[in-house]
Amino acid sequence: MVFQPHGKRLKASEGKTILEAAREVGVDITSICGGRGVCGKCRIIIRGGEECLSAPSKTERHTFSDDDFSSGFRLACQTAVAFEGKTVVEVPSESRVNQQKLLLKGLERSVELSPAVKKVAVHLKKPSLLDTRSDVDRLLDALRPNTSWGPQVDYEALKKAPLVLRKGDWTVTATVWKDGEVISVEPGATKGCYGFAVDIGTTKLAGYLVDLTSGKIVAMASMMNPQIAYGEDVISRIRYIMEADMNLSRLQQAIAESINNLINEACETASVPPSEIYDMTVAGNTAMHHIFLGVPPNYVALLPYPAALQSPMDIKARELSVGISPGAYVHALPAIAGFVGGDAVADILATKIHEADDLSLMIDIGTNTEIVLGNKDGLVACSCASGPAFEGAHIRNGMRAATGAIERVWIDPKTLELGYKTIDNQKPRGLCGSAVIDITAEMLKAGIIDYSGKFNAESRTIRLRRNDKSVEFVIARKDETLIESDIVITQGDVREVQLAKAAIYTGASILMKHRNVRSEEIEGIFLAGAFGNYIDPQSARIIGMYPDVPLERVKFVGNTAGSGARMALLSVEARKEAGEIAKRVEYVELGADLDFQKEFLKATYLPHQEADRFPNVVKILGKIRNRG
Amino acid sequence: MVFQPHGKRLKASEGKTILEAAREVGVDITSICGGRGVCGKCRIIIRGGEECLSAPSKTERHTFSDDDFSSGFRLACQTAVAFEGKTVVEVPSESRVNQQKLLLKGLERSVELSPAVKKVAVHLKKPSLLDTRSDVDRLLDALRPNTSWGPQVDYEALKKAPLVLRKGDWTVTATVWKDGEVISVEPGATKGCYGFAVDIGTTKLAGYLVDLTSGKIVAMASMMNPQIAYGEDVISRIRYIMEADMNLSRLQQAIAESINNLINEACETASVPPSEIYDMTVAGNTAMHHIFLGVPPNYVALLPYPAALQSPMDIKARELSVGISPGAYVHALPAIAGFVGGDAVADILATKIHEADDLSLMIDIGTNTEIVLGNKDGLVACSCASGPAFEGAHIRNGMRAATGAIERVWIDPKTLELGYKTIDNQKPRGLCGSAVIDITAEMLKAGIIDYSGKFNAESRTIRLRRNDKSVEFVIARKDETLIESDIVITQGDVREVQLAKAAIYTGASILMKHRNVRSEEIEGIFLAGAFGNYIDPQSARIIGMYPDVPLERVKFVGNTAGSGARMALLSVEARKEAGEIAKRVEYVELGADLDFQKEFLKATYLPHQEADRFPNVVKILGKIRNRG
Every domain of chain A and the residues it spans: 2-95, 117-187, 194-342, 352-387+503-611
ipTM: 0.84
Amino acid A236: pLDDT: 87
Interface contact A308-B128, CB threshold 8 A:
no
Say yes or no: domain A352-387+503-611 is CATH 3.30.420.40.
Answer: yes
Amino acid B227: pLDDT: 83
Amino acid B11: pLDDT: 87
B620 exposure class (CB count in 10 Å sphere: 0-12, 13-18, 19+): middle
Interface contact B132-A592, CB threshold 8 A:
no
- Inter-chain CB pairs, A–B, below 8 Å: 128
The series of mean pLDDT values per 10 residues for chain B, 628 residues long, is: 84 88 77 72 90 92 89 93 89 72 68 95 94 93 76 92 97 95 97 97 92 95 80 86 92 93 93 97 97 96 92 95 97 95 96 96 94 97 89 82 89 93 90 94 96 91 84 94 89 96 97 96 93 83 96 93 96 96 94 91 96 94 76
Interface contact B299-A135, CB threshold 8 A:
yes
Testing the interface with A: which of B140, B159, B320 to mutate, by most A Cβ within 10 A?
B159
> Which residue in A465, A475, A456 sits closest to A397, CA to CA?
A475
For residue B170, the chain A residues in CB contact (below 8 A) are none
Nearest CA distance, B333 vs chain A (angstrom) = 14
Given a contact cutoff of 8 angstroms between Cβ atoms, the answer to whether A605 and A505 are in contact is no
What is the DSSP secondary structure assignment for residue A611, as one 8-state letter? G
For residue B311, the chain A residues in CB contact (below 8 A) are 134, 136-137, 140, 151
> How far is residue A226 CA from its own chain's centroid?
11
pLDDT for A109 beyond 80: no
Q: Rounded to whole angstroms, what are the CA distances from A125 to A171, B255, B312?
A: 9, 33, 22
Q: Which of A151, A337, A587 sits opposite B311 (nearest CB)?
A: A151
**Which of the four pLDDT bands, split at 50, 70 and 90, describes residue A104?**
low
For residue A299, the chain B residues in CB contact (below 8 A) are 135, 162, 166
Interface contact B161-A307, CB threshold 8 A:
no
Nearest CA distance, B318 vs chain A (angstrom) = 11
A346-359 pLDDT per residue, tens = 999 999 999 999 99
**Which of the four pLDDT bands, split at 50, 70 and 90, describes residue A171?**
very high
Interface contact B133-A310, CB threshold 8 A:
yes
Write phi, then psi, for A78 (nearest 5 degrees): -100, -10
Testing the interface with B: which of A126, A129, A134 to mutate, by most B Cβ within 10 A?
A134
Whole-angstrom distance, CA of residue B361 vs CA of residue B511? 9
Write phi, then psi, for A242 (nearest 5 degrees): -75, -15
Amino acid B230: pLDDT: 77
For residue A181, the chain B residues in CB contact (below 8 A) are none
Given a contact cutoff of 8 angstroms between Cβ atoms, the answer to whether B451 and B440 are in contact is no
Across chain A, mean pLDDT equals 91
Amino acid B41: pLDDT: 81
Q: Which of A134, A166, A305 sits opposite B307 (nearest CB)?
A: A134
Amino acid A331: pLDDT: 98
For residue A319, the chain B residues in CB contact (below 8 A) are 155
Interface contact A136-B308, CB threshold 8 A:
yes
Interface contact B589-A132, CB threshold 8 A:
yes
Write phi, then psi, for A528 (nearest 5 degrees): -125, 165
Given a contact cutoff of 8 angstroms between Cβ atoms, the answer to whether A501 and A545 are in contact is yes
Whole-angstrom distance, CA of residue B450 vs CA of residue B452? 5
For residue A305, the chain B residues in CB contact (below 8 A) are 132
What is the DSSP secondary structure assignment for residue A519, as one 8-state letter? G
Q: Rg of chain B over CA atoms, in angstroms?
A: 27
pLDDT for A515 beyond 90: yes
CA angle A427, A433, A439 (to 5 degrees): 75
Question: CATH fold of B195-342, please?
Answer: Nucleotidyltransferase; domain 5 (3.30.420)
Q: Which of A129, A163, A337 sits opposite B132 (nearest CB)?
A: A337
Interface contact B338-A132, CB threshold 8 A:
yes
Q: Which of A26-35, A77-86, A325-334 has the lowest mean pLDDT?
A: A26-35
Given a contact cutoff of 8 angstroms between Cβ atoms, the answer to whether A555 and A350 are in contact is no
Given a contact cutoff of 8 angstroms between Cβ atoms, the answer to whether B199 and B559 are in contact is yes
Amino acid B359: pLDDT: 97
Say yes or no: domain B2-95 is CATH 2.115.10.20.
Answer: no
Nearest CA distance, A159 vs chain B (angstrom) = 5
Chain B nearest-CA residue for A579: B151
A551-608 pLDDT per residue, tens = 999 999 989 999 999 999 999 999 999 999 999 999 999 988 899 999 999 999 999 9
Q: Return the percentage of chain A with pLDDT > 70, whole number.
A: 96
Whole-angstrom distance, CA of residue A75 vs CA of residue B404? 79
Question: CATH fold of A194-342, please?
Answer: Nucleotidyltransferase; domain 5 (3.30.420)
Nearest CA distance, A306 vs chain B (angstrom) = 5
Chain B nearest-CA residue for A315: B155
Chain A nearest-CA residue for B313: A152
Interface contact A134-B316, CB threshold 8 A:
no
Interface contact A310-B134, CB threshold 8 A:
yes
Q: Rounded to whole angstroms, what are the CA distances from B78 to B15, B430, B469, B484?
A: 11, 22, 21, 20
Interface contact B136-A310, CB threshold 8 A:
yes
Amino acid A129: pLDDT: 85
A223-238 pLDDT per residue, tens = 878 787 777 788 889 9
> How far is residue B99 CA from its own chain's centroid?
15
Given a contact cutoff of 8 angstroms between Cβ atoms, the answer to whether A95 and A42 are in contact is yes
> Which residue in B100, B609, B587 sits closest to B338, CA to CA?
B587
Q: Which of A382-391, A436-445, B25-34, B161-170 has the lowest mean pLDDT?
A: B25-34
For residue A296, the chain B residues in CB contact (below 8 A) are 159, 162-163
Given a contact cutoff of 8 angstroms between Cβ atoms, the answer to whether A541 and A554 are in contact is yes
Whole-angstrom distance, CA of residue A288 vs CA of residue A382? 16
* CA dihedral of A212, A217, A219, A222, whole degrees rounded to 10: 110
Q: Which of B129, B162, B308 sits opposite A134 (nearest CB)?
A: B308
> Which residue in A616, A528, A532, A551 sits closest to A352, CA to CA?
A528
Amino acid B105: pLDDT: 67
Asked if domains A117-187 and A352-387+503-611 share a fold, the reply is no
Given a contact cutoff of 8 angstroms between Cβ atoms, the answer to whether B322 and B256 are in contact is yes
Alpha helix ranges (H) inside A446-551:
491-515, 537-542
3-state secondary structure of A314: strand
For residue B163, the chain A residues in CB contact (below 8 A) are 296, 298
Domain at A117-187, CATH class: alpha beta
Mean pLDDT of A432-446: 95
Whole-angstrom distance, CA of residue A61 vs CA of residue B467? 98
A534 exposure class (CB count in 10 Å sphere: 0-12, 13-18, 19+): middle
What is the DSSP secondary structure assignment for residue A170, as one 8-state letter? T
Nearest CA distance, B156 vs chain A (angstrom) = 9
Given a contact cutoff of 8 angstroms between Cβ atoms, the answer to whether B283 and B345 are in contact is yes
Q: Which of A132, A162, A304 sits opposite B129 (nearest CB)?
A: A304
Mean pLDDT of A429-436: 92
Amino acid B40: pLDDT: 80
Chain A nearest-CA residue for B161: A308
Whole-angstrom distance, CA of residue B332 vs CA of residue B293? 9
Amino acid B34: pLDDT: 64
